[in-house]
Amino acid sequence: MKRNKIFIYIACSSLLLASGCKKFLEHQPDDRTELNSAVKVAELLANAYPHANYITMAESMSDNAGDKGGTGRDLPNSSAWNYIDQIDANSVDTPPFYWNSCYKAIAAANYALEAIDKAGNTAEYSASKGEALVARAYVHFMLVTFFAKAYDPVTAASDPGIPYVTLPQKIVEGNYTRGTVASVYANIEKDLLEGLPLIKNNSYRVPKYHFTTQAARAFATRFYLFKQDYQKVIDQANAIFPGTTIVDNLRAWNTTYNVLGYYELQALYTNSTEPANLLLQEANSYWGRSYAGYNFGLSSAVRATVFNAGNNPTGKALAMTTKIFGGNETVYNIPKFREHFVKETISANFGDGYNMVPLLSSEEVLFNRAEANAMLGNTAQAIADLDFYLSKRIVNYSVTADKFTQAKATAFFPALSAKDALVGTVLNFKRQEYMHEGLRWLDIVRLKIPITHVSANGQVTITLGANDPRRLVQIPQDAVAAGLAANPR
C-alpha cells in the first residue's frame, strides 16, 4: 500500500506546559520528554485522552436533531446536520479539532510507552503501561468509528481505516498509512487485551478520569459489539457487573433524579460521584452552553418521536421525559452538561469553555449485553437486563405490571422477528437514554440505520442511505493536503 504523509500533532504534556509548545518542539525528543520517573509517566497520561468533544458532530448528524425553524445557523451544528464537510481545525466541536485532539492523545500514550520501555518495563510502571495501551486503543477506535466505515466482516479487510500510530513522533510530519478497518481493529484488540490486565484502580487519585478495569471492560463491550463478537460482549459485561449488581450502578432517574431541579441535575449528571459514570473526560467544548439553543436539536417532532409514551415498547413514559426543560422547542433540553469556563487570565473576561463528558457508562454496558444476548438467542438474559433498566426508569415501577416480556417487544415491532424486536427495544431505550450525548450516531453507523433530515418548512429533505459516503466524516484538510486519501464524496 502506498505510504502517505499526514500531520499528527505532538501533545504538550502537563509536565511541559511551563516551557510552552513552541519550545517543546525545538528540543530533541529525549531532552524534551524527560520522562525519567514513574510519577512523571503517570502524569503524562492525563493527556492520553482526547480533550475534545465529538458530541456536537455526532448528535447533529443523527436523527436526534430536528430543524427548529430558527434563523440561527451555528456552524458546527448546522454543517453536521446538513452533512457539509467542516474544514476549520481551530474551532472547537468540529471534526478536525476532534481528529487533532485524538492524535495528540495518542502521541502522549506513545511517549509514555517509550519511557516505560526505556525504564525496563519494571513493576512500578506496569499500571501506567496498562492505561496507556487501553487509552491508545480507545482513541483509535473513536477515530475509526467516525472517519472510516463501520466494521463489516465481509469488507473490513479492504475498507480504508485510519493511521494506527504506535511509535512516538520525532518529527511533526511523519509517514503513515490509513491501513484497513480490519488492521485497525486488530491493533485495537491487541492493545486492549495487553493493557487491561495491567491496570490498577488504586493507582489513580480520581479513578473516574482514567481507565479503570471497569471502564476498560466497558470499552471492550462497545468494541466487541461493533466487531459483532457477541459472546465477548457478554463476557466483558459480566466481568464488570455479575448477577444483579448492575442495578445499583444505573442512574436512578425514577427516584433521585426525578426530584432534582435543573441545576442540581446538571451538576450530578457528569459528576464523578455518580456510580453510572465509568469514564469521564474534560473536553474543550461549547456544547454545554449551546445545545439547548442550537437550531438543529431536540425539536417538537423529535421529542414526540423519541419520548412519547406510545413510542416505546412499555407504553409508559420513562422518567427522563419529565426532565425535558424549556418552554418551547427552541430551548428544549435535558440538563446534562454544566460548562466550566476558564479565563485566559484572572482579570480577563474571555477564555475557553470546558465540559465534563461521560465517555462510558453503566447503562451502555447493560444495553450492549442485552443486545448481544438477543443476537445470540439468549432471550431470558436480554429481558432481564431490560427489566433492570426499566426498574430505574419507570416512575412507581411495579415488578409485576411493568415486567418486560417478549410479547411487549413483538407487539411494538410486529414486522420484526422475536430477536430483532428485542434488539429494536434496546435501541429504542438507548436513543432516549443518550439524548444530547451523541451515542445514537454510533448505532446509526454500526447498523446502517437510514436517516432523513427535513427542514422546518418542508422544502429541504436530506436523506442518508445505508451506504451513503457522508456517513464517513471527512479526513481533515491538512491530512489530505499532506497526502492522506480523503473519504469519498
pTM recorded for the entire structure: 0.93
Query: Residue 181: which of 156, 163, 164 has the closest Cα?
Result: 156
Q: Are residues 203 and 171 in the same domain?
A: yes
Query: Residue 358: which of 431, 306, 289, 283 has the closest Cα?
Result: 283
Tell me what percent of the chain is helix, strand and coil, each rounded to the nearest 5.
Answer: 50, 10, 40
Q: Are residues 235 and 193 in the same domain?
A: no
Residue 291 confidence (pLDDT): 97
Q: Are residues 181 and 262 in the same domain?
A: no
Instruction: Quote the crossing angle between the two packed helices 181-195 and 213-227, to the nearest 10°.
Output: 150
Q: Which three cell numbers stand for residue 311?
A: 413510542
Q: Are residues 378 and 411 in the same domain?
A: yes
Any idea which residue has 409485576 for its cell?
400
- Strand 340-343 to strand 451-454: parallel, antiparallel, or no bridges (unpaired)? unpaired
Total number of domains constituting the chain: 2
Asked whether residue 1 is assigned to any structural domain, the reply reads yes
Q: Are residues 87 and 234 in the same domain?
A: no
Residue 345 confidence (pLDDT): 78
Q: Are residues 63 and 6 in the same domain?
A: yes
Asked whether residue 21 is assigned to any structural domain, the reply reads yes
Asked whether residue 460 is assigned to any structural domain, the reply reads no
Please name the residue ranges forming H helices in 291-405. 300-307, 362-375, 379-390
pLDDT tens digits in sequence order for the chain, 489 residues long: 334 434 444 433 333 333 333 332 232 333 445 899 999 999 999 999 999 999 999 999 999 999 999 976 788 999 999 999 999 898 999 999 999 999 999 999 999 999 999 999 999 999 999 999 999 999 999 999 999 999 999 999 999 999 999 999 765 555 678 999 999 999 999 999 999 999 999 999 999 999 999 999 999 999 999 999 999 999 999 999 999 999 999 999 999 999 999 999 999 999 999 999 999 999 999 999 999 999 999 999 999 999 999 999 999 999 999 999 999 999 999 999 999 988 877 877 888 999 999 999 999 999 999 999 999 999 999 999 999 999 999 999 999 999 999 999 999 999 999 999 999 999 999 999 999 999 999 999 999 999 999 999 999 999 999 999 999 999 999 999 888 999 999
Instruction: State the DSSP code for 451.
Output: E
Q: Are residues 148 and 200 in the same domain?
A: yes
d(CA 296, CA 84): 14
The CA–CA distances, whole Å, from 420 to 16, 34, 60, 409, 426 equal 52, 54, 27, 9, 10
CATH code: domain of residue 478: 1.25.40.390
Q: Contact 108/51 with Cβ under 8 angstroms?
A: no
Residue 14 confidence (pLDDT): 36
Asked whether residue 224 is assigned to any structural domain, the reply reads no
Please report which helix (H) or strand (E) contains residue 190, including its range: helix 181-195
Q: Contact 263/31 with Cβ under 8 angstroms?
A: no
Q: Contact 77/46 with Cβ under 8 angstroms?
A: no
Q: Are residues 296 and 262 in the same domain?
A: yes
d(CA 255, CA 402): 16
Q: Are residues 112 and 235 in the same domain?
A: no
- Strand 461-464 to strand 66-67: parallel, antiparallel, or no bridges (unpaired)? unpaired
Q: Are residues 170 and 34 in the same domain?
A: yes
The Cβ of residue 235 has, within 10 Å, a number of other Cβ atoms equal to 16
170: containing domain: 1-211+465-484
Q: Are residues 119 and 202 in the same domain?
A: yes
Residue 347 confidence (pLDDT): 76
